[in-house]
Each structure stands twice: as C-alpha cells, then as structure tokens.
Structure 1
Amino acid sequence: MSVALQTPAAPVRDRVETPFRRFISEFAESKLALLGLAVFTVIALVAILAPWIAPQNPYDLAVLDIMDGRLEPGARNGADDMTYWLGTDDQGRDMLSAIMYGLRISLAVGAGSALLAAIVGASLGLLAAYVGGRTDSAIMRVVDLQLSFPAILVALMILAFLGKSVMNVVIAIVVVEWAYYARTVRGTALVERRREYIEAAQCLALPTHRILFRHLLPNCLPPLIVIATMQVARAIALEATLSFLGLGVPITEPSLGLLIANGYEYMLSGKYWISFYPGIALLVTIVSINLMGDHLRDVLNPRLKK
C-alpha cells in the first residue's frame, strides 16, 4: 500500500505592523474622523477643480450681468440656458460658482499661513529649547507677549498698515499664529534634548542645524502635526472674519468670508442665500478639519485616549 506524501503547508507570514499601518488602523477607529476626512477631501477636490467644474467663472466680468443680481435659488437664465441652483449675489454671480472659487482662496490662505507659521514657530521653538539661557528667555517672552493680545486685533492692525491682499492676509495670520507652534515645539524639544541620541550627536560634534532639524525636529512632529491641523481651521476662520470686516482679501478675489459679507445687508430683505450658503460651506469646512484634528490628537498622544 502506497503512502501519499503530503507537502507541508507553507507557513503563513505574519503581517508586519509598521508605525504607519498602526496609525491608519487607529485613525480609522473613529467614524467621525473618517467622515471629516471624506468631507474635507470632497471640499478640497471641489476647490482644486473649480475652474473646470464650476458653472461660471465669477471673476470674469464679461459673463456677469447686473440684471441677474439677487435671483432666488433655482432661478433660470434663459439667455445662457443656465440654472442658478444656489441663486445669485448682488453682482449677478452664480453663488455655487462663487463658493467653489471662494473655497480655493480660503483653503489656500489657511494651508499656506499654517505652513509658514509652522516653519517659523517650530524653528524658534527648537532654537529656544536647544540653546536655552538668554535665547530661550528672549524667544519665550516674545511668545508670551504675542499670546497676550487677541489674534483678531493684531491681524486687523497689520492689515490696516499693509492693505488688502491675499499675501498680506497670509502674513497677518502667520504673525498671530507662529507663537502657538513655538510654545508647543519648545515643550516637546525640552524633553527630547535630554535623551541619549542628542548627547551622542553632540559628542560627534555635529553642526547645530543638523542636530535641530535632522534629529530633534522629527521627534517633535506628532504634537506639531496636531496643532497644525487645528491651526488650519483657525486660519480659515480668521481669514473669513477679516474679509467679513472688510480688511481681508480684495473684492476681486472673494473668499467665503467676503461672500458672507456681501450678502449680509440683504438678509433682512429676505435674500438669505447670498450669505447663508457661503456660511454653510465655511462651517462644514471648519468642522471637517476639527473632526480630523481632534481624533488625530488622540492617536498621536496615547495619554489622551479615553
């Protein structure tokens, strides 16, 4: 009787759990965070693709007709065979198109100012923690002075001096936000600078800039990423406030805040859609970012997990 030889089954290779996979799995545990990510992704895609998917270019004066101003949502323009699904503003701009283009400016200002503020604040925070002494005291006294004033007041004073433009708005937001990054990074860097890898780098006589940005900064990234996410939402809200007050972006490049301001005077006359729909777009954008940032804080800082 022959005996069939069975080939042993190949061992199942365990899936190696890398830090990135662990981060993804922990982030996916929150349905609200995933919802915020999905909504923000859609908003970002709409903003990026606005020139191709928007029914109208609200910046092109040749296609605007003042006679189409303040039309109700769902109104139709027979001449252009176009339906204004969200109505029009006082200039005859399609509100849906204006919101799409307004999202481009709001997101660009929020992301750009948050990135620049992170670069400035993180650099000064690392320098203060690593050098210490008078350098640390001087930088932190400036941080304390900066944080003692309301952000909106400082931004208004800067824009009153510089004037209205997208770049000036970015500069104003960077000035009022860099201190948050500096204080956060300094607190983390004070702990990291006492660890063995920093002492080893110092014993090897590595340049200071290499120790700061190649060794110390990567270990300060988790809290930096969290605060950057929150500050993007804060920057978008601050830009909208400045534009609503008339000191933000110019009228030729309306953001969501300026669109809200343009329709504010028509609210009492029943033309609610001019301010209402840009306000909803602004609210949804900020809430989606905050949903991601709130859970991101828990994932990157296990001590905060409930």
Structure 2
Amino acid sequence: MSDFAVKDTAPSKAPPKGERLLLRQMGDLIANPEAAVGLIILFILILTAVLAGWIAPQNPYDLMQLDIMDNMLPPGSQLGSGVTAWLGTDDQGRDMLSAIMYGMRVSLGVGIASVLIASFIGAFIGVLSAYIGGRFDALVMRIVDLQLSFPSILIALVLLTVFGRGLDKVILSLVFVQWAYYARTVRGSALVEKSKDYIAAARCLELPRHRILIRHMLPNCIPPLIVVSTVQIAHAITLESTLSFLGVGVPVTQPSLGMLIASGYDFLLSGNYWVSTYPGVALVLIVVAINLVGDRLRVVLNPRFTQ
C-alpha cells in the first residue's frame, strides 16, 4: 500500500469582522482617484509641518538667523547666509518656504486640536440628549439652534475680544463655535440607535446608563461623526486663518498661514506677490485636500449611499 502525503487542509484564520470592514472601507477610500490625491497631498503637508524644525532651510522666528538686508527678495534669491529662498522673503527677511512650513504646523495643530475637543464634547452631549429625551433634549437642541443661527466668525470674534489673543484662546473659541455641529449630528444618529432592539435589551438587563451610552450607542454614531470632523477640520483651519488675518488670532510669535497672508497683503499691489500668494496656496491645498477626503469618507461610511 502506497503512502499518501497528508495535506493540512485547515482553513487559514480569517481576520475579525470589524477588521475586514475597516480594510474594505480603506480600500474603497483609496480606490477613488480624488480621495487618493487628497490623501497624498494631506500626508505630504502634515509630514512637512511636523518635520519643519528639521527640514526647513531657516528658523524664521529665530532673530539670530534673520537679516533685514534680505527683506523682500524675489523667489530664487540667495540670502546672506547662503540659503536659497526658493519662495522669496518677506519684509522681515524671513524665508517664505520656512515660514510656510512653520505656519502650517500652527494652522494644522489648531484645527486638529479644536476638532478633537469639540467632537468629544459635542458627541457626549448629543448622545446624552438623545438618550434622556424630554425637556432636556428640547433645551439642548434649542441652545444648538440658537448658536447655529449666528455666523461662526462673529461668535469667534466676540470670544477672542473677551479672552484676548493667544493660541489656547483661539482653540477654546473654535471649540465653542464647533461643538453644536457634532451635538446635532450625533443626536440624530443616537435617536435612530435608541429605537433598536439592542438598546431595549440593554435596558432590560438593567445595565448602567453610562455603559449603554459609551459601550453601545456611541460606537454606532462614530461614522457620521468622522465625516463631520473631517470637514470641520478644514472649516476650523479656515476660520483660524481668517481670525489671524484680521489680527485677533494667534500671536505674532506663533504665526499661522492666515497671519502670513495678512503680513503680505500690503505688498500685493507693489509687485511683491509672493509674500501673500504662497501662504495662500498652501492654505488652499490643505482645505481642498481635506474636503476631497471628507467627501469620499461620506460615501464610504454611509452604506445607504448609492455608488
């Protein structure tokens, strides 16, 4: 009798269901050309901002590295230190490429930090409002409606007038402006989840309220929260840049892209276009890249969306 080789036919272990869903969603996101381009641009800009201290030709806020004789040089000029200013210099002799790298760090940091804090606060209030319902829900929604009836820039200007200038003050103002968007979005999703059987089962088991909210309802409200947060990052960056352009945002020692644009505004008509133009291009690239990714995320995370 001949011997037969025994082959191991045991199936390979499949990844968990949640992991498979995440991989499929990431694949759908990357498969879209516009979203892929947005991700690439966003990755390059974030990496540039994070590594600005190491890759920037100059520290534009170190007075020891600045020479007033290098002011308003056109793109491609060479500074007295031997560094080539590929994007020119401003009225203080700062290399614009280096200033943009450092400015993106401030703008992205303010936008991401404010969105993270505001989304946490808004999600908690939205879930709690939907779960409790009744007068509490009506009161919260009227406050949300009242805040959303005012322009965001107006609220931020009033808050910064009261608080004063400063990076932390700008973040606090943006959090106050944005939390209502997340509260309304999460409340709508939580109301749908509240009527489902698994919430009724959790109540029958007499689970603690905080466990039902955090472990059951909130995770199912995350997809729309992610979409809103992605778009709101672009909105927060734009709003911060507007405030800095108006002179009430971040301080001069921590200039963002908005302040760089404002510093070159007076030179636009004199032919020195590069002082405001290049920071403006960087700001547009950030906002457009985030919106491209956010639009595709809205499709990927919404199973009811017809593709």
Distance 1:7 1:203, change over 3 A: closer
Structure 1 partner of 2:56: 54
Structure 2 partner of 1:107: 108
Residue 153 of structure 2 is aligned to residue 152 of structure 1: yes
Alpha-carbon distance between aligned partners in 2 of 1:102 and 1:162, rounded to the nearest angstrom: 23
| Shift in Å, 1:14 | 9.3
Alpha-carbon distance between aligned partners in 2 of 1:151 and 1:37, rounded to the nearest angstrom: 27
**TM-score under structure 1 length normalisation:** 0.95
Alpha-carbon distance between aligned partners in 2 of 1:12 and 1:171, rounded to the nearest angstrom: 53
Q: Give the letter aligned to residue 301 of structure 1.
A: N
Distance 1:4 1:206, change over 3 A: closer
Structure 2 partner of 1:263: 264
Describe the superposition over 1:171-212 as per-residue Cα deviations: whole angstroms up to 9, x where unpaired. 111111111100000000001011122122222222222211
Describe the superposition over 1:70-104 as per-residue Cα deviations: whole angstroms up to 9, x where unpaired. 11101112x31111110011111110000000010
Alpha-carbon distance between aligned partners in 2 of 1:36 and 1:291, rounded to the nearest angstrom: 6
Structure 1 partner of 2:278: 277
Q: Give the letter aligned to residue 54 of structure 2.
A: W
Alpha-carbon distance between aligned partners in 1 of 2:190 and 2:306, rounded to the nearest angstrom: 22
Alpha-carbon distance between aligned partners in 2 of 1:133 and 1:3, rounded to the nearest angstrom: 78
Residue 186 of structure 2 is aligned to residue 168 of structure 1: no
Alpha-carbon distance between aligned partners in 2 of 1:129 and 1:305, rounded to the nearest angstrom: 28
Distance 1:95 1:10, change over 3 A: same
SS at match of 2:267: coil
Q: Give the letter aligned to residue 46 of structure 1.
A: T
Moved over 4 A (4+): 2-17
Q: Which ranges in structure 1 are unaligned for 5 or more consecutive residues?
A: none
| Shift in Å, 1:304 | 2.5
Instruction: Please say if residues 103 and 255 of structure 1, whose CA atoms lie closer than 8 Å, have aligned partners that are also in contact.
Output: yes
Alpha-carbon distance between aligned partners in 2 of 1:172 and 1:182, rounded to the nearest angstrom: 17
Segment of structure 1 superposing worse, 121-130 or 21-30: 21-30
Distance 1:203 1:15, change over 3 A: closer
SS at match of 1:303: coil
Instruction: Please say if residues 299 and 305 of structure 1, whose CA atoms lie closer than 8 Å, have aligned partners that are also in contact.
Output: no
**TM-score under structure 2 length normalisation:** 0.94
Alpha-carbon distance between aligned partners in 2 of 1:28 and 1:305, rounded to the nearest angstrom: 18
Q: Which ranges in structure 2 are unaligned for 5 or more consecutive residues?
A: none
| Shift in Å, 1:305 | 3.1
Residue 84 of structure 2 is aligned to residue 83 of structure 1: yes
| Shift in Å, 1:4 | 9.7
Alpha-carbon distance between aligned partners in 2 of 1:222 and 1:263, rounded to the nearest angstrom: 40
Describe the superposition over 1:279-301 as per-residue Cα deviations: whole angstroms up to 9, x where unpaired. 00000011111100000000001
Structure 2 partner of 1:37: 39
Equivalences for 1:119-138 in 2 at 5 Å? 119-138=120-139
Q: Give the letter aligned to residue 291 of structure 1.
A: L
